[in-house]
Structure 1
Amino acid sequence: MPGPTESASESGSIIRLPTPTSFPFPYPKPYDIQLELMQTVFRAIEDGKIAIVESPTGTGKSLSLLTSTLTWLDQHQKRLSEVYTQEMREKLRDDDPTEPGWVIEHSIKMKLDNMRAEEEVRLERLTKAREREKKIRRNMGLSGNRGLVNKKSKSTSSQVESNTKTQRKDKATTVDEDEFLPDDSQVRGEDDQGPYLSKEVRDLMEKYEASRPKAKQEETEEEDLPKIYYTSRTHTQLRQLTSELLKTSFPLRDGLDGDDDATPDQSSGASPGLSSSSSKGRGVSLVPLGSRKQLCINDKVRAMAKNGGDERLNEACLDMQKSGKARCEFLPSKAEEGIMLDARDAVLASVKDIEDIVAIGRKSCVCPYYATRRAVKQSQIVTLPYNLLLQKNAREALDINLKDQVIVIDEAHNLIDTLLSIYSTSLTSTTISSAIAQLQQYLARFKNRLKSVHALKIRQVLSLLNGLLEVCRTFIIQNQNGQAKGEGGARLKSEVMNANHLMEKIGKGTDQLNPLELVDYLKESKLARKISGFSEFLAEQNSSKEEKVSRTSSQRHASIASFHIVESFLLSLVDARDDGRVILSPLGTGTEKGSTSTSTSTVEIKYVLLNPAERFKEVVEEARSVILAGGTMEPISDFLQQLFPSLPRSQFSTLSCSHVIPKENLLTQVVCVGPRKTEFDFRFSNRENDMLLTELGSVIQSVIGLVPDGVVVFLPSYAFLDKVKSTWTSSGLMAKLAEKKSLFFEPQTSGDVESTLRDYALAISSGNAIGEKSKKTGALMFAVVGGKLSEGINFSDTLGRCVVMVGLPFANVGSVELQERMRYVETLPGNGKDASREMYENLCMRAVNQSIGRAIRHANDYATILLVDKRYGTPRIKNKLPKWIGEDVKIQNDFGSVARNVALFFREKREKEKRLF
């Protein structure tokens, strides 16, 4: 990571920003922890450090991050103005030391005036964009920044979808098969158009092309302004951030809620040399980046890709930009550059979320996807999901330059797992077979039209895939032979190797293969896109001939996407260093003792990244500063060891904030025993113990009688939830619980989460009004740690007056993937065997901390937390709880004390509420 931007003045002193004692916070007085967090973040950015900050949910973390980063950006912009003026003065003096001072100052003034004039033009463009936006909103019958909907587009979309079948039939007859031929791009050979050219001649031609004057549009490349890249896990979280930004004095506004001239005096985002003084139209502009799936407004493309997934949508979009193709009606051509600039300005004109930009794009008939990409350089804050920032190819596709920029990663407790996930890929032997069949079919159709260089490369790819399939077959046979020699009914074993070992296995008998060259060829020729497009074309032809299609659309998509999956896996292998493993695991049938048949056996091949630091290193080295923030970042040691193993500790700033709630609003107890003195130890081997489950049931039954409104019980796994449900239903306990509170269970599908939460909240708000004879007082929700309700869901106020955490949700230590990861952690500098145990516990406790943090969501909230397992009382585990929870934990070896404390806690709250009202 580069150091802070430091500029020397004439005397050699360094311009350095002091840490503010106050910030333009949107509320009269920030909490002490908010001020501390803002100062920590500001200082880390100025000093070019990495900050790891923990601020519990409900403490205004997002507002504090926005205020501190944008305050720094504003002051940095003013500093750039001063530095630019000084550097210009020094350059003019160096050019001509005899030049009088008044001439130099006059030259500086003229240049600054020119820059101010350019800035005024930019601001005028934004003002006009806001005027156009207001007209569009009025035509749509709306005002404000939220909830823009284009009624016309809905009817258009439905009309297009109703014509999809017709389009598919037409496509089968209108498609020119030459479009499925590989792209030549950088692929060169003897049969390319024109005479054969030697490598030396080609190099000279490339140098000549590079030295030629570029087109006029390229000469005036837009300046990439200093900015904040703000990332989070989901678009929902980023949408909430947009709402938080509108509370502050920073953003550009559209004037719909008041006078346009009421724009606050904040950073102008002006070019260097301009002041940040108050001016109409100035402020911080935000650009939300998303995928084509979220931003595409071409209903024909969306309809084509409806059953083909994101990959098909991307391909359809790119296909419509090729010369000779019917161009997308929403994407202006180069000759219509002014239209795209207007769309860019519309994005920058006021703070909007993705839904707003899509609605405006539909009304103005200009592509929101490319408009947002075009607006990035001129913005001061860019929001985007993790994956778009963390993947190098995604950054390149979006033309994101992180050089000397500030990166904020919110909800960063998931960062390590996210990095490992997006760089890990898997495929099955069935997918490989499907890809081989597609490639053979493709080669048979186009062999007479392929240039020799393409035919050669495609046969090499086919040879590589056959080698990969042979590795799978050999793996199954060796496992089954091992079983036949005396292992009995033992399950087939997994095999672990590094990427080089797998390549050696694939390359046996194929010495001519160079996997690195083949992967380069796949990228340059876009072969995966060509083959999937051709496969879909054939599928459409077949479906148009048959009245009934035997395969479902998802099955057909899986078949068409096979080669894309294989390509992704090969890219991972070639990119692999010593920090990944390849795991072969058996799936499916055909594993009976003594069987040598592999026809019904399926093998999964998975490339697993073990070292997230190497992939994150590029981001860290490019950026000026990286801020990792979250509500539960503890244990922080994982981030230091696994993400930044080679950086000195002096390069970090860390902060773990306490909570804004008063201590009397939180009661946390470790429940070591139940009413019958049975010790609670819910390790995996004890979870089938019916006596332990009965004791747990007694605890839940006692607690819900003492707690008003909502109670949430988190269990360590879905399997344990099913066990609890069946055991308590058989014993009649579930019916008894239902007499006291309405029962709800975490749904199996994500689509049912919203309706389940809505019914849960309704049951709580209804209270005794459910029925005159009902004794129910609220609701009881059973959820799973790491499941659909453990992150991103607020159980604030009455929704979560009590959170019960049952057991410790340790990951399956028998997982081959986890075992490899633990071994790798032990090899990191300064680590030993204890490091793997530390990582194992940290994985568990980070999930626990996320779940129990669901309850306290704001300063006036209150709740009790019950940790039902004696292991929570051990120092190792207790010290990994968040500081705002762990400081006052009561370890109870008598359940009577637990119940009395809970009863007293809520009695005091009822009495306090009576005094207030």
Structure 2
Amino acid sequence: MASKDFHHPFQPYDIQQQFMEAMYDCIERGEVGIFESPTGTGKSLSLICSSLTWLREHRRKLFDEALAAVTVDDDEPAWMAEHAVDSRRCEMRHMREEFEARLSTVREKDSKLKEGHAHGVPLRKKRKVASNDEFSPADEEQYVLDDHDDYTDGKKPPSGQPSSYSTETAKLMEDLGMLQQKRDDNSLHLLKDLKIYFCSRTHSQLSQFVGELQRVSLPPGMPPEPAMSAEVSEPLKHLTLGSRKNLCINPKVSKLGSLTAINERCMELQQTSAAVEHKCPFLPKKDNEDAVLDFRDHTLAKIRDIEDMVEVGRRLSICPYYASRTVTESAEMVTLPYPLLLQKTAREALGISLRGHIIIIDEAHNLMNAIEGIYSTHISEVQLNRARDSLLVYLQKFRNRLKGSNRVFVTQVVRVIDSLLLFVTRLLLTNTTGGTIDADELLCGKGVDQIDLAKLIRYISESKLARKVEGYASHVAQLQKTPIRNTKETQSEHDVPTLAHIQTFLMTLMNPSKEGRFFWSRESDTCILRYMLLDPAVHFQDIVHDARAVILAGGTMSPMDDYRHQLFPYLPRLVTFSCGHLIPPSNLLIRTVATDQAGPLDFSYKSRSSAMILRIGQALLDLAPLVHGGLVVFLPSYGSLEQVASCWRKEALLTKLEDIKQVFWDGRTEPAEATFKAYSHAVSTNRKGAILLSVIGGKLSEGINFSDDLGRCVVVVGLPFPNLETPEWKAKMQYLEDKARARGETTGAASREHAENVCMRAVNQAVGRVIRHKDDWAGIVLMDQRYAQKRIREKLPGWIRESFPTESPSHLRGVTKDAKRFFDGKTRS
């Protein structure tokens, strides 16, 4: 039986073909799948080709079904039925071809502009931005709260605003007439259907993915005409979504640097109270609707990354952040970073609906941590005091002008802050340094139990209270020439109004207690209140429920049990796929060093004595001379790395290592780029190679390429278990035990399993750094007796487990002999 053609730009390897077929079937059945494909096995192209092949085939099916749905009366002759079908076919083709022709015209224009630019012709005159664009009028009227229209209590949203849009976006889109589909643009009728949302952690990873997209050529989403070649292709309609920080083209705003500062200034420039000359000149408006539609066509005409989107926006003098809303419906594939997909409020702000679409999340080994991070938050005593002081200054000025619900709500905000400060004051009087707290304890102030928190949070958001209070406080401080910032605050806290932090923290107080826990800690004579999400499934379930299919992909997804229990406990079936590696088994040496001449090697926290540290160093002295190239050593933590460095220096063992190879250290404060650059230079210029000592989960354990001579051997010392004695980890473990008990499972097994999975996922990420392509080769040495346990070894990726010999030595002497044979054989060949 012939293999399915996924239109891969190269002849796919067997493991790539298996990956694409498994993923195609997962999408076809509308399931959730976890797909593991090691680095160097062409994961990105496999994801692209399988998903887009399914999408184009699905569109062809819809085309055929649309034609089959054409009906005529039973008593009409056959030729009339054929004519009706032909007419429908021609109409649908004409609509598609008209749109394709418009995009083709844009491509031609882009090509001519690029050619002209190469000969010194400017792309387009730059739009002049008024020098007084800074929004800082002296008139204090701007800080007065508008009369509050409490429409949310009446359950009636603003006119024309769909629930999928945020208020600010809906206003812009309504002004443009886009919510009412003001212009009759039938050419998009066929395009508003199923699409693929591809998500990764960073914009740099997305840019690499976009580069892979440009390699692929796909057949059209409609069957070609009989006279046309079956080889005809149709360009992909792709859109890259990003934050304001990545897409803002207003120099007065983008220069602010941080995401939160840019967001705040952007929204300031949209306020109705802002004078026309102070509003952003690039925002979509009724009088520049043609530019918005031009932006859509230019974006879809070519596969563009985030920098290209910014350039198109500058060329057309239109904001890419807001203009991209008009492109989403027409795109077949949308690429976006984690926060824009995982955070519900971000999806709403972008007008993204996931209903019926395909979701692919790459680098998904971090997914649970990302969800927990997005929905966890903290607030400090410093912020609480500052927010209270700013509110009191504001009230002193505008008290007589606050009427009705404005006065009630502002008073309630002060009362809630007083309650939080009262709790913090009581904590600071105790001798403890931290612990868990109940949400009810935070709201024990006078009359706070009578406040409707949901209603108060809506008010803070809709009234722009945080921005107005912060703005007035800054205005007063400027007039008095007094600093408003507190030196204890971090830069990120400077960027957003303090009341907005408090609003976010208050939102967590409405969460069910089983979802998360509240903690407090004493830090530098102040108190920090934290909320930590414990159940990532709660916030990811909406995505799974809405999407047709969800694919989690990564180079290292093992061990996968955590995803089943913590992210998808409600699913009866979960597809899992782990493919092998392209390298032959002879290109990988994998061994465990469990013992040496002094006995078992155990680098656990309790066993980490000076004697054990010296034995680890002695083992490296035996291995290092065998490795021709770079030797990368990972330790469990920066604390253990510093302990090792101190011990080896004291006992002169470090001098012996440096006689073999130059040694580099990944310190807490040293910039990772500089360390890696120096190490790389030493490997490439020094015949003896170099040693790099780093930390699992540290700056050099993820996203760094140790291909070829940069990583001919990786040694993992110990297991990087998290500190299970912290209040946060105790709460997480207790939560997992409670869930397991509800499932009728053995007490203690679930929490131990999770701790081991977190540990081994970090190990797997580290060891995966050294095999980066099909011709690469390296040795992997796991140095700790616990790696010999079957339970731990089974948590390694399949391609590494398969490379373990059935019988292999675990004593240092035997491992050293095997390593010598392996490295000698590779250097001779």
Query: What's the TM-score once normalised by structure 1's chain length?
Result: 0.81
The corresponding residue for 1:317 is: 266
Does residue 789 of the first structure (1) align with residue 695 of the second (2)? Answer: no
Alpha-carbon shift at residue 889 of structure 1 (Å) = 3.0
The 1:801/1:451 distance shift into structure 2, 3 A limit, reads: same
- The one-letter code matched in structure 1 to 2:140 is E
Residues 418 and 445, structure 2, Cα contact 8 Å, conserved in 1:
no
CA distance, structure 2, for counterparts of residue 274 and residue 287 of structure 1: 31
The corresponding residue for 2:689 is: 778
Of 54, 61, 64, 1:79 maps to 61
Alpha-carbon shift at residue 558 of structure 1 (Å) = 2.7
The corresponding residue for 1:238 is: 206
CA distance, structure 1, for counterparts of residue 495 and residue 60 of structure 2: 56
CA distance, structure 2, for counterparts of residue 556 and residue 353 of structure 1: 27
Superposed, 1:484-503 pairs within 5 Å as 491-497=432-438, 499=439, 501-502=440-441
Alpha-carbon shift at residue 208 of structure 1 (Å) = 14
The 1:447/1:560 distance shift into structure 2, 3 A limit, reads: farther
Of 781, 784, 787, 1:869 maps to 784
The corresponding residue for 2:23 is: 41
Residues 613 and 644, structure 2, Cα contact 8 Å, conserved in 1:
yes
- The one-letter code matched in structure 1 to 2:102 is R
Does the residue aligned with 1:494 lie in a helix, a strand or coil? strand
CA distance, structure 1, for counterparts of residue 543 and residue 227 of structure 2: 31
Moved more, 42-51 or 903-912: 903-912
- The one-letter code matched in structure 1 to 2:19 is L
Does the residue aligned with 1:217 lie in a helix, a strand or coil? coil
The corresponding residue for 2:246 is: 294
CA deviation profile, 1:43-81 (whole Å, cap 9, x unmatched): 010011111111111111111111100110110010010
CA distance, structure 1, for counterparts of residue 381 and residue 686 of structure 2: 55
The corresponding residue for 1:765 is: 684
The 1:203/1:620 distance shift into structure 2, 3 A limit, reads: closer
Alpha-carbon shift at residue 329 of structure 1 (Å) = 2.2
Superposed, 1:364-379 pairs within 5 Å as 364-379=316-331
Residues 382 and 488, structure 2, Cα contact 8 Å, conserved in 1:
no
Percent sequence identity over aligned pairs: 38
The corresponding residue for 2:508 is: 572
CA distance, structure 1, for counterparts of residue 158 and residue 505 of structure 2: 35
CA distance, structure 2, for counterparts of residue 796 and residue 151 of structure 1: 43
CA deviation profile, 1:699-754 (whole Å, cap 9, x unmatched): 1122111101111110100111111112212222223322322222225358x322
Does the residue aligned with 1:448 lie in a helix, a strand or coil? helix
Alpha-carbon shift at residue 99 of structure 1 (Å) = 4.7
Residues 186 and 524, structure 1, Cα contact 8 Å, conserved in 2:
no
Does residue 719 of the first structure (1) align with residue 639 of the second (2)? Answer: yes
Does residue 354 of the first structure (1) align with residue 345 of the second (2)? Answer: no
CA distance, structure 2, for counterparts of residue 185 and residue 216 of structure 1: 30
Does residue 23 of the first structure (1) align with residue 13 of the second (2)? Answer: no
Residues 628 and 712, structure 2, Cα contact 8 Å, conserved in 1:
yes
The corresponding residue for 1:627 is: 551
CA distance, structure 2, for counterparts of residue 559 and residue 242 of structure 1: 31
Query: What's the TM-score once normalised by structure 2's chain length?
Result: 0.90
Of 341, 345, 363, 2:297 maps to 345
CA distance, structure 1, for counterparts of residue 486 and residue 607 of structure 2: 47
Does the residue aligned with 1:344 lie in a helix, a strand or coil? helix
Does residue 520 of the first structure (1) align with residue 458 of the second (2)? Answer: yes
Does residue 849 of the first structure (1) align with residue 764 of the second (2)? Answer: yes
CA deviation profile, 1:579-612 (whole Å, cap 9, x unmatched): 11111222233xxxxxxxxxxxx22211111111
The corresponding residue for 1:69 is: 51
The 1:183/1:393 distance shift into structure 2, 3 A limit, reads: farther
- The one-letter code matched in structure 1 to 2:510 is V
Does residue 807 of the first structure (1) align with residue 725 of the second (2)? Answer: no
Residues 19 and 42, structure 1, Cα contact 8 Å, conserved in 2:
no
Does the residue aligned with 1:748 lie in a helix, a strand or coil? coil
Of 805, 821, 824, 1:904 maps to 821
- The one-letter code matched in structure 1 to 2:591 is Q
The 1:697/1:462 distance shift into structure 2, 3 A limit, reads: same
Alpha-carbon shift at residue 908 of structure 1 (Å) = 0.7
Does residue 217 of the first structure (1) align with residue 182 of the second (2)? Answer: yes
Moved more, 874-883 or 33-42: 874-883
The 1:397/1:51 distance shift into structure 2, 3 A limit, reads: same
The corresponding residue for 2:499 is: 563
The corresponding residue for 1:178 is: 141
Moved more, 725-734 or 102-111: 102-111
Superposed, 1:190-209 pairs within 5 Å as none
Residues 678 and 695, structure 1, Cα contact 8 Å, conserved in 2:
no
Residues 638 and 668, structure 2, Cα contact 8 Å, conserved in 1:
no
Aligned residues: 803
Alpha-carbon shift at residue 204 of structure 1 (Å) = 13
Alpha-carbon shift at residue 275 of structure 1 (Å) = 13
CA distance, structure 2, for counterparts of residue 845 and residue 886 of structure 1: 13
Residues 81 and 274, structure 1, Cα contact 8 Å, conserved in 2:
no
Q: Which runs of 5+ in 2 are unaligned?
A: 164-173
The corresponding residue for 2:401 is: 449
Of 560, 569, 574, 1:636 maps to 560
Alpha-carbon shift at residue 375 of structure 1 (Å) = 1.4
CA distance, structure 1, for counterparts of residue 645 and residue 733 of structure 2: 34
CA distance, structure 1, for counterparts of residue 628 and residue 421 of structure 2: 60
CA deviation profile, 1:364-394 (whole Å, cap 9, x unmatched): 4332222333212111111111111111111
Does residue 685 of the first structure (1) align with residue 606 of the second (2)? Answer: yes
- The one-letter code matched in structure 2 to 1:740 is I
The 1:58/1:541 distance shift into structure 2, 3 A limit, reads: farther
Does the residue aligned with 1:282 lie in a helix, a strand or coil? coil
Residues 22 and 35, structure 1, Cα contact 8 Å, conserved in 2:
no
The 1:449/1:793 distance shift into structure 2, 3 A limit, reads: same
Residues 224 and 230, structure 2, Cα contact 8 Å, conserved in 1:
no
CA distance, structure 2, for counterparts of residue 724 and residue 885 of structure 1: 28
Q: Which runs of 5+ in 1 are unaligned?
A: 1-17, 144-148, 190-198, 251-265, 481-490, 590-601, 769-776, 913-917
Question: C-alpha root-mean-square deviation of aligned residues, in Å?
Answer: 3.4
CA distance, structure 1, for counterparts of residue 532 and residue 381 of structure 2: 17
The 1:551/1:820 distance shift into structure 2, 3 A limit, reads: closer
Residues 464 and 506, structure 1, Cα contact 8 Å, conserved in 2:
no
The corresponding residue for 1:400 is: 352
The 1:893/1:459 distance shift into structure 2, 3 A limit, reads: same
The 1:310/1:536 distance shift into structure 2, 3 A limit, reads: farther
The 1:427/1:356 distance shift into structure 2, 3 A limit, reads: same
CA distance, structure 2, for counterparts of residue 179 and residue 439 of structure 1: 16
Residues 434 and 559, structure 1, Cα contact 8 Å, conserved in 2:
no
Residues 436 and 517, structure 2, Cα contact 8 Å, conserved in 1:
no
- The one-letter code matched in structure 2 to 1:798 is D
Moved more, 757-766 or 612-621: 757-766
The corresponding residue for 1:487 is: none
Alpha-carbon shift at residue 658 of structure 1 (Å) = 1.5
Does the residue aligned with 2:365 lie in a helix, a strand or coil? helix
- The one-letter code matched in structure 2 to 1:514 is D
Alpha-carbon shift at residue 457 of structure 1 (Å) = 0.5
Does the residue aligned with 1:241 lie in a helix, a strand or coil? helix
Alpha-carbon shift at residue 443 of structure 1 (Å) = 2.0
Residues 287 and 382, structure 1, Cα contact 8 Å, conserved in 2:
yes
The 1:556/1:703 distance shift into structure 2, 3 A limit, reads: closer
Does the residue aligned with 2:263 lie in a helix, a strand or coil? helix
The 1:718/1:46 distance shift into structure 2, 3 A limit, reads: same
Superposed, 1:255-294 pairs within 5 Å as 266-268=219-221, 282-294=234-246
Moved more, 56-65 or 113-122: 113-122
The corresponding residue for 2:518 is: 582
Does residue 662 of the first structure (1) align with residue 662 of the second (2)? Answer: no
The corresponding residue for 1:826 is: 737
Residues 457 and 507, structure 2, Cα contact 8 Å, conserved in 1:
yes
Of 114, 117, 120, 2:97 maps to 120
